[in-house]
Structures are given as C-alpha cells and as structure tokens.
Amino acid sequence: MPIAERGYRHWEGKRTGALSRCFAITRFEVSIAYQSSRLLRRFLFIAWMPILYFCPLFLAIGYVADPSNDLRSGAMLTEIAGELFPREVIEQLRENPEIYLPAIWSVVFYLFFAWTQSLLSMIVVAIAGPPLIARDHKSKAFLVYFSKPIQAWQYLLGKLATVVFFVLSMTLIPALLLYSISIALSPDGTTLTATLPIIFKASLASLITAVPIGLVVLMISSLTKDRRIATFAWLVLWIFGEISFRVLTATSALSANARPPAWASLLSLRELSMRAVSGIFQVRSSIETVFQGLGESGDRLSRKMLRLAEDMGDPAALERPRSVQQIADLAGMGITPELATLALIVLSIGCGFVILQRARKAVRI
C-alpha cells in the first residue's frame, strides 16, 4: 500500500478572471452585512410587503380590463382599481385593453418603485453602505486588498456591487415577483406580450437607482474611518435633502402662480432617482396615453391634470382624485428625466473619482 502524500501542495490550478475576483469582494461583503445586522435582515424581509398591496391592484386592473367581467358583481375589485384611476379611464381600459393596459402597468410599476421600494432602499443602504469602506480604512484592510491581484477600480466595483445587490433585493427582485404574480392573475396571455418591456424597464430603473446611491454612500464611507459618522452623514444627506425638497414644493404649491424650481429635485437623491426612473417607465407619456384617449372630455381632463401638475399654484389641483394627482405631480414636476439621468451620471462619476483618490491616499498612510 503506498504512503499517501498529505503534506502541503502547491497551487497548480488556473486563476479566475478580473471580474470574478472583484465579485469575490461582493460575496464577502454581502455575507458580512447579512451576518452582522439583524436590522438589515428585517428590512430585506419587509421589502416584500408592498407586494401585498400591489398584487390586489394588478388583480383589480386585470379584472376590470376584461370586458367579459361584470363590474357590479366584482364591486370590490372595481373599487380598488377606482382608487387609482377615474371611472372614465376604467371604461376606456375595458374597450381597448391592448392600448391602455401597458400604459397603466407602467404607471403602477413606477408607483411601486416611487412610493415604497425607493424609500426602503434608502434605509437598507443606510444600514449596509456606510461601513463598506470606512471599516477598511480603520482596519487598514487596503493593504491586504491591494497586495492581491486587484486594482482600485476593481475594489470599488466589488464594493459598489454590494450596495447594488442590496438595492436590487429591494427593487428588482420584488418587482419581478410582482410582475410574475400579476401576469399569473391576468385574464389572458396577451397581457404578457403587451407588458413584457416592463421587465427591462424595472431592471434599468433598479440599476439607475442603485448605482448613484451606491456611489454616494461609498464616497461618504471613504471619507471617514468611523462607520457611525458615515451612517449619520448618509442619513443627514438623505433626510435633509428630502425635507428641503418637500418644503420647497409645498411652499410653491401654496403661493399662487408659482412653480417649484426645477433644481429642487437636485436636493433630494431619492427624488432625483425617481425622476430618472419616471423617464424609464415613460410615466408622462403613459398618463397622456391613458387620458387623451378619453375623447374631448378626457383630453380636457388629461391636459388639465398635466397642467395642474406643472402649475401647482392652481387651487383646482387640490380637487383632483388623490392618486391621480400624485401620479401627475410626479410626472410633471421638477427637472426632466433626461436631466435627472444626466445629473445622476455626473454625480456617480464625481463620487467614483473621490473614492479612488481616497483609496489611493489611504494606502500611503
């Protein structure tokens, strides 16, 4: 019987590629964040809760969109759909579902992002993001990282992918689940073909939310060694920006013939992201599609709504159905989605540059 060689053996395997190496950082960081924060685990669970609200909404939209269904017998579902859309819209939807259904789905998915998931994402980023670089700064882990075959940009990409992972867990994954359930609840297969682009839009919207937010939180994290200071700074930036934006908007709404300044959106990172996301979901054109199809009365209604959204000083704005008002407000107010996207790109590049500079400087200390 031969004696087995059990001693130390030299590595003779093939090395993995650059992307695999930097995503090793992501796996590592996700594991740390998940293990070390009970709060994070709870929020990842809470992220699924809004689905419970939106699923009945899609079920209701699917029900009222089917002309064979009697609205009176399904009064409850009709009422749910009516919460979001006026009766005229529902009637048009029943007559031409192939035109109106994709537009309505786009608007509702946008609301899913804007109302709940973006808010939850900001909270999760506040938990998972601030320690990512601050901790390496404090422990001088840069020395270990950068003695491995990994460059500063790969390190940054690995860290960014950690934040992106958590944001996608709050946005894309629930959105895809919501989409799957909604398709399952739809009356026929035509809904799937008509609404398929929403998967692409949801993916893009998730990324355009995750990447700038991730880079901003990483930049904050790179400026300090103390994760608590980084967390505090992130919360201040987010909450202060949000409050400033809301105050400016409310002030403009109260004063006659005044509009909120376009730059107000720049104050709030969440608002800026949602402006870009509204462009991806084509919220404005979807609203126009829905309301302009209503004929003369509908045209008046849609124009009025969009005008009111742009002109918050009109007292009639307060008389509109609450949900539609919110949609129109979000669609017509602040800077354009294109400008918002541009602002996010510029912000991302700036943050990325600062992080790389900080990482290089940290190695020298």
Partner 1 sequence: MGALLEARSLTKLYGVVIGVNDITLDLEPGVIGLLGPNGAGKSTFIKLITGQLRPSEGQLTVLGERPWANMRLFKRIGLCPEQDSFYDQLSALEFVTSLAKISGLGSGAKERAEQALERVGATEFMHRPIGTYSKGMRQRTKIAQSIVHDPDLLILDEPLTGTDPVCRREIMDLVASLGEEGTSILVASHVLHEVQSMTDEFVLIHGGRILASGKVHEIRSLMNEFPHRITIKCDDTRKLAQALISELPLEGVSIDAEQGEIIVMTRDPGQFYARLPRIALQAGIHVRELTSADDNLEAVFSYLISVH
**Residue 15 binding partner 1, by CB under 8 A:** yes
Number of residues that bind partner 1 (CB under 8 A): 37
**Residue 24 binding partner 1, by CB under 8 A:** yes
Q: Binding segment for partner 1 among 39-47, 139-147, 222-230, 276-284 (CB under 8 A)?
A: 139-147
Q: What is the rounded distance in angstroms from the CA atom of residue 317 to the CA atom of residue 128?
A: 40
Interface pick for partner 1 out of 1, 4, 10, 38 (rule CB under 8 A): 10
**Residue 36 binding partner 1, by CB under 8 A:** yes
Amino acid at 238: W
Interface pick for partner 1 out of 49, 143, 236, 349 (rule CB under 8 A): 143
* Nearest residue (CB) to partner 1, 8 versus 45: 8
**Residue 364 binding partner 1, by CB under 8 A:** yes
**Residue 114 binding partner 1, by CB under 8 A:** no
* Nearest residue (CB) to partner 1, 28 versus 200: 28
Question: How far apart are CB 170 and partner 1 at their closest, in Å?
Answer: 22
Question: How far apart are CB 349 and partner 1 at their closest, in Å?
Answer: 21
Half-sphere exposure of 237 toward its Cβ, with a 13 Å CA cutoff? 20
**Residue 247 binding partner 1, by CB under 8 A:** no
Interface pick for partner 1 out of 146, 187, 207, 294 (rule CB under 8 A): 146
Q: Binding segment for partner 1 among 32-40, 108-116, 121-129, 208-216 (CB under 8 A)?
A: 32-40
Q: Binding segment for partner 1 among 140-148, 209-217, 272-280, 287-295 (CB under 8 A)?
A: 140-148
Q: Binding segment for partner 1 among 21-29, 122-130, 300-308, 325-333 (CB under 8 A)?
A: 21-29
Question: How far apart are CB 39 and partner 1 at their closest, in Å?
Answer: 15
Half-sphere exposure of 102 toward its Cβ, with a 13 Å CA cutoff? 16
Residues that bind partner 1 (CB under 8 A): 8-11, 13-18, 20-22, 24-25, 27-28, 31-32, 35-36, 135-136, 139-141, 143-151, 363-364
